Amino acid sequence: MKDNDNIIPFARLKHHIDVPNLEEVWLDGFESAQAELEEERNPYRQGSTEYFHWNEGWWAGFYEEEPLFDLAGNLREDILLLDSEQKCANDEQVVLEDQQKQHTKQVIKRVIQVAGVIFVALAAYELAELAA
């Protein structure tokens, strides 16, 4: 029984070491750029998720952006989350563009319907002439 009690914390520790938290990876890249380390010093395997997040953090630190996470690895909500009352600058434009697209689709649909009716009428006329 005591063996099981010792294994679980050890397994959690090993998992934490083997599978790093992506926020911590991003912060590590951010801090590396601020310490003026080269981008090639990325410690993760190229193409991995950790590599991507470290790189994103490095570039954010390189351009001296505000960090997305505080040093404890917590998400900074004041930067990422917008109030529900805030609107984007182009919200109204997007709605107008959507309405224009719908109207264009309706016009195209109507034109195709009218062309179909004309085609059927011409075909019926030709058949009537052929029969006569």
Range of the domain at 96: 88-132
Instruction: For residue 96, name the pLDDT band (cuts at 50, 70, 90).
Output: confident
Q: What's CA 59's distance to the chain center, in Å?
A: 18
Instruction: For residue 79, name the pLDDT band (cuts at 50, 70, 90).
Output: low
**Secondary structure class of 49 (helix, strand, coil):** helix
Residue 10: pLDDT over 90: no
Same domain, 98 and 126: yes
Q: What pLDDT is stored for residue 118 in this prediction?
A: 95
The owner of tokens 């319907």 is 113
- CB neighbours of residue 22 within 10 Å: 17
CA 130 → CA 116, 120, 125, distances in Å?
21, 15, 9
pLDDT above 70 covers a percentage of the chain that reads 75
Residue 53: pLDDT over 50: yes
| Residue at a domain's end among 57, 81, 105 | 81
- CB neighbours of residue 87 within 10 Å: 10
Per the structure, how many domains does the chain have?
A: 2
